[in-house]
Structure 1
Amino acid sequence: MARARNIKPGFFVNEDLVELDFATRLLFAGLWTLADREGRLEDRPKKIKIGVFPADNVDVDQMLQELHDAKFIVRYVVNGVGYVKIQNWHKHQNPHHTEKQSEIPDINGETTVKERKQAINKEADQPDLNGEITVKAEECNGGNLADSLIPDSLIPDSLIPDSSSSLRSEEGRVAKSPAPSPSGRQKREETTLAKYLVDCREKGVKPVPDDHSIRTWAQDAGISDEMLQVAWVVFRERYTEDSQYKAKRYKDWVGTFTNSVKDRWFSLWFTGEGGVVSWSSTGLQHKQVLDARAAKRKEDEQRKEQEAAHATA
């Protein structure tokens, strides 16, 4: 069940959070509405995507990992089940006293239900196993804190669209009921990037057409052709070589690549003063690797040419 939560002005100017891309920042706020009263939720990227990005082609698993690496959340496993804990939850959120108790274990495998009851009996704040306050006396008594939400702001299940009422595709994208198509029209099916690249080679076309809008968009945004080329190689290698991603299937791989460029999935560049786009440290690393590969290929070609020349001499 989704829940209404607080968001403060400091969210938008947090110096660490602004280093993440736009979609990841939006996901972080979305996690608040999915988390229970202890700031915990199941680590299920596909389910989270349905709750936050139902119609967007984004990689929630990658964004969750970025939030984890930046210490905004903690991804952990208890008894083989993955969970997410939002850091500093009670510092920024004061769930209403009628909200359901958490049923999700903390990092140590313990729930807070027992600790909360003890706190109520003692009429005092008690730290949980992680040293954080899990309940306040005002909450136990039904009092209103400055940032508390009124009961009416809790969103009941009846106001949330039933996910079973609509068809959903593999990655959580909302899939509309198929409509009859005119006779002879070929439907575009989901496929892996490897299969898409094979199809492009067979047809003799570029994976990203020269006239595609992403090229113009990148030029207008100050992203150089070299940056765009590195972004494509990193994108291609992720979805053709990485075991975690190579099985993913999409209908529009060019559109997926476009999203990766616009949303800076790989953090290869940044915009500095005056709107100048420069390589990030991550981007420079990828560029150096690709430059080294190109130099190696050139050496191999030169060696083969020399060997062929000696053989015919």
Structure 2
Amino acid sequence: MARARNIKPSFFANDDLADIDPLGRLLFIGLWTVADRDGRLEDRPRRIKAEVLPYDDCDIDTLLGDLQKHGFIHRYEVGGERFIQVVNFAKHQNPHVKESASSIPAPDEHHARPVQEQGKAHPEPEQVGLIPDSGFLDTNNPPNPPAGGESPTTPKRERKPRIQLKTFIDNCRAAGENAISGYKPLLEYVEATGLPMEFVQLAWDEFKRQFGPGGKDEARKQADWRRHFLNYIEKNYMRLWYARVADGGNEYFLSTQGLQAQALQSNREAVA
């Protein structure tokens, strides 16, 4: 049963959600409405899709995985049953006083184990900093240290500054680095999927056209442009290609958008 929840305008400007598919962001909001008063629900992707995104063609399980990877939800298993905890939900939402108590075990009870990452430590919901009444990460409010008082001895990873794509490319050139061609996660993805590198190059050209000088998103800043580009490749955001299953692997073909982008790049090269 869906319930009324809180959402603040700052949600839509939250850059921690920027790398998540737009449907994933909408799903995140939807999870608040179907979760119980403690922010828990059964991890049943088909049911969640029917309740939250019934009219959209999407892979709910993948979207849930993205939300977990970015720390917005915690997927866990208790006694062979799978559940979801919306991170810090109980702290920042205000359920109606008559709303029924949760019947789902908390992730820190009954030897719960994280889904997909069995055996790896996962932060408890109260350890992750969130913006009050919204349920999403607050970069100005860092997570609390684990119970016990002391922070981990592992050095805190330095946060990269957010820069424009042009600045990132200029920095790569100054350092004698390739912007994307040597990026190991990208190469591993291409090898695993069989995606042609010429399609990746076409996507990079279109990516630069969008985020580079004169592009409609020139002002956009990212801390990790390589990871941002890989996200575009993995999700095929620009819809430049499609795949067909064939003997020995997938076969990739340019879509109408891809053919148009290819023609545009060819004309640019001819003019240059």
Q: Which of the five TM-score ranges fits, normalised by the shorter chain? A: 0.3 to 0.5
Q: Normalising by structure 2, report the TM-score.
A: 0.47
Higher-Rg structure is 1
Q: Normalising by structure 1, report the TM-score.
A: 0.42
Bigger relative CO (Cα 8 Å, ≥ 6 apart): 1
More strand by percentage: 2
